[in-house]
Amino acid sequence: MMDRRHFLGRAAGWSGVAGLLLGGAGARGALRAEEPAPARPAGSSAGSLPPLKITKVRAILTAPQNIRLVIVKVETSEPGLYGLGCATFTQRARAVVTAVDQYLAPFLAGKDPDDIEDTWQAMYQSSYWRNGPVLMNALSGVDTALWDIKGKRAGMPVYQLLGGKCRVGAPIYRHASGSTPEEVTESARRYMAEGARFVRVQMGDRGSATYGAGSGAGASRGGGDGRAQASTFDAAAYRRSVPKLFEHLRKELGDEVELLHDVHERLPPIDGIGLAKDVEAYRLFFLEDPFAPEDIGYFRHLRSQCSTPIAMGELFNNPNEWVGLISERLIDFIRCHLSQVGGISVGRKIAALCDFFRVRTAWHGPGDTSPIGHAANLHLDLATWNFGVQEAVIWNDAAREVFPGTPEVKDGLMLANDRPGLGIDLREDLAAKYPIRDDPPFDLNWGRLRGKDGTILRP
């Protein structure tokens, strides 16, 4: 039951918000003065915390690890109180900057940072056309920054706002690769010696640009995480090599280590099904992206034929892509990239949906997610009961200096530092020392992978 004092506080909050909307002459998208403001929920001014407004929103580009990163900074009317979010869409970084600086910044000026869900819905509807990667990354950067602000305001880490810790840290997986089964085995052994219990294994076949296979002879070349550069891919040779790789790994490494593999949507769907069946005996922790998002209708056929655990979702940005796969129990791990789907607000909803269907989370965590994005992944991992595993990056010294508070990895676990908010900062002065390049080696060659006959292939 609402008491009188509380009710008056809420009423004052409503009129304050209405006045803010009516008076926001400088903010494009605000209501015109002659239009009545609709009733809407009160912000935190109804509670014990002082009123707060968004004063500035902007995107910041930096590349301390030679990968273009996009950060959103949301500043508030309280001096020194700001939030940070990851909006990295590395292949189209400047398009995200335009979406943030030219469209969201004026739309958000004067809004209450405490109204995260209301602001999310407003941003989502504000472009009328929705769910594309550029706009979702821009929106996600703001959303995550608002959670950071709320945590700082409450004096709590974000994982506390999400329900509190379910575990001490998030088990991570590392990326082992090589050109032969022996090389991959040695690479996996090195990570296991560092405490990794989960290892993703990728092997290049001579003359074929296999995804994630590192810099070995004949393998795909690329950055540290093995993104393919221009070359050709032999689907049949890859399809034959993967079961042999797993046979070798299980013989050499035993049963304790959890092994993962990413098909990266490169096979014709029927070969994705065949591969999942062929590796069933080797007990993978998961097989990732056996199909492209365009082919998700094949999951039902795969499911009926084998029990290899399936992970999917890094390219998704529309709820229609994940809701059916989860609710029909067609996948085992959801792999969404948080800044592609709507930030922490949507991540927590996806995790909750998955909980009811015993699907586990394994948020996408490559080098083109900033350390701030990895911190957001981590806070969700800690507060999600149905968490599976976290993909992780070991950051270089430059990245750690630009982003103080970057999550640490110890004995195979990613750990939160327990500071309020996301616990991570951005040194803008240092970020400026690592300007982005428009031709970074990391992603120069997306869209150039071809089959042996010259046909363009999916990445």
We find the least distance from the C-beta atom of residue 334 to Mg ion, in angstroms, to be 12
In the complex with Mg ion, the residue whose CB is nearer, 111 or 174, is 174
Region binding Mg ion by CB under 5 A among candidate stretches 2-10, 38-46, 292-300, 307-315: 307-315
H or E stretch at 170: strand 170-178
Neighbours of 308 (CB within 10 A): 23
Q: For residue 225, state whether it binds Mg ion (rule: CB under 5 A).
A: no
In the complex with Mg ion, the residue whose CB is nearer, 123 or 336, is 336
* Distance, CA of 125 to CA of 117 (rounded, Å): 12
- Could you list the active site residues? 211, 264
Whether residue 132 contacts residue 341, with contact meaning beta carbons closer than 8 Å, is answered with: no
- Residue 284 structure tokens: 């993978």
In the complex with Mg ion, the residue whose CB is nearer, 112 or 443, is 443
In the complex with Mg ion, the residue whose CB is nearer, 46 or 362, is 362
In the complex with Mg ion, the residue whose CB is nearer, 292 or 431, is 292
Sign of the CA dihedral running 291, 272, 332, 192:
negative
Q: For residue 391, state whether it binds Mg ion (rule: CB under 5 A).
A: no
* Distance, CA of 161 to CA of 158 (rounded, Å): 5
Whether residue 202 contacts residue 220, with contact meaning beta carbons closer than 8 Å, is answered with: no
177-459-139-440 Cα dihedral, nearest 10 degrees? 70
Q: For residue 262, state whether it binds Mg ion (rule: CB under 5 A).
A: yes
Region binding Mg ion by CB under 5 A among candidate stretches 23-31, 254-262, 298-306, 403-411: 254-262
Question: Binding-site residue total for Mg ion (CB under 5 A)?
Answer: 2
Region binding Mg ion by CB under 5 A among candidate stretches 6-14, 174-182, 256-264, 292-300: 256-264
Residue carrying structure tokens 């296999």: 210
Instruction: Say how far residue 329 (Cα) sits from the centre of its chain.
Output: 22
456-459 long-range contacts (CB < 8 A, ≥24 apart) are: 457/233, 457/266, 458/265, 458/266, 458/292, 459/211, 459/228, 459/264, 459/265, 459/266
Angle between helices 116-126 and 344-355 (to 10 degrees): 100
Neighbours of 269 (CB within 10 A): 19
We find the least distance from the C-beta atom of residue 266 to Mg ion, in angstroms, to be 11
* Distance, CA of 135 to CA of 30 (rounded, Å): 19
We find the least distance from the C-beta atom of residue 388 to Mg ion, in angstroms, to be 14
Per-position x/- string for 312-341, each x denoting binding to Mg ion as judged by CB under 5 A, each - no binding? --x---------------------------
Q: Which of 60, 44, 48 is nearest to 119 (CA)?
A: 44
We find the least distance from the C-beta atom of residue 432 to Mg ion, in angstroms, to be 31
Distances (CA, A) of 177 to 40, 202, 379: 53, 5, 29
Amino acid identity for residue 169 in this structure = G
* Distance, CA of 441 to CA of 402 (rounded, Å): 21
- Residue 385 structure tokens: 């009961």
Q: What are phi and psi of 360, to 5 degrees?
A: -100, 155
In this chain, which residue has its C-beta nearest to Mg ion?
Answer: 262
Residues that bind Mg ion (CB under 5 A): 262, 314
